[in-house]
Amino acid sequence: VFRLSFATPVEWVARVETDPLALLSDHAHCELKAAASAQALIVKNPSRTALVSRMAEIAREEIEHFALVAKLLTARGGALVADTPNPYTESLLGRSHYGRVCADDARDEMLLDRLLVSSLIEARSLERFHLLATHLADRELAEFYRALIPAESMHQALFRELALECYPAERVARRLETITALEGDIVSKLPFAVRMHSGLAPVEVVRPLVPR
């Protein structure tokens, strides 16, 4: 059974619940980016037939999720707000092999990391959906998240299965261990924001230099 290396404290739910519309807007952008990322994998790996058909399915599902989230947001009187850089995914991609400037012979390594990073992002979303479904006081929103759990659970497993179809099991296991630890390290240090992939770390106060 796959496990994340850092468990989100339950208090995260109470903090994001202060602004459900902001959470939904951020979540909608996550779904949209998941669909775009699945399409980008197709563009970069056109000859990997299994990957192409699965990514086409994922892209379709993520766009459906986007539509569901955006619809709920509108029904609640909100609207999508402009997306802002996401420190979670940026650190994860930047600190894995995917973020390196790669020569052609390293493309292979990039794909392995890309698949495993995607699996981790899906697994973290799954953890957050579980927390929201269980602990939100807003029961309508809680049920909304409960309904999204099965798809997210399939997605996080599917990216790992694809990695295993493309690479030797031992290599996948080794990289998965590293990226799982990396993801936990990143999340545990992220400051709080009303976002699907935020953390709860205290914001470091930088003291201004006082001239003597």
Q: Nearest distance from residue 148's CB to Fe ion, in Å?
A: 6
First to last CA, the chain: 58
Q: Nearest distance from residue 38's CB to Fe ion, in Å?
A: 9
Phi, psi at 166, each rounded to 5°: -95, -20
Q: Nearest distance from residue 153's CB to Fe ion, in Å?
A: 9
Angle subtended at Cα 160 by Cα 54 and Cα 167, rounded to the nearest 5 degrees: 95
Of these, 29, 114, 124, 155, which contacts Fe ion (CB under 5 A)? 155
Q: Nearest distance from residue 168's CB to Fe ion, in Å?
A: 26
Q: How many residues belong to the site for Fe ion (CB under 5 A)?
A: 5
**Nearer residue to Fe ion within complex by CB, 145 or 167:** 145
**Nearer residue to Fe ion within complex by CB, 26 or 31:** 31
**Nearer residue to Fe ion within complex by CB, 13 or 55:** 55
160 lines the binding site for Fe ion (CB under 5 A): no
Please identify, among the stretches 73-81, 100-108, 148-156, 173-181, the one whose residues bind Fe ion according to the rule CB under 5 A.
148-156
**Nearer residue to Fe ion within complex by CB, 62 or 113:** 62
* Residues 19-38, interacting with Fe ion (CB under 5 A): 31
C-alpha span between 31 and 37 (Å, rounded): 10
Of these, 29, 54, 65, 124, which contacts Fe ion (CB under 5 A)? 65
Q: Which residues pair with 191 in a beta bridge?
A: 201
* Residues 70-129, interacting with Fe ion (CB under 5 A): 122
Using alpha carbons, select from 124, 128, 100, 104 the residue that is nearest to residue 113: 100
Contact by Cβ (8 Å): 132, 152: no
Give the Å distances, CA to CA, from 106 to 28, 45, 101, 119, 173: 33, 14, 9, 20, 19
CA 9 to chain centre: 17
| Unique residue bearing structure tokens 């197709």 | 42
Q: Which residues bind Fe ion (CB under 5 A)?
A: 31, 62, 65, 122, 155
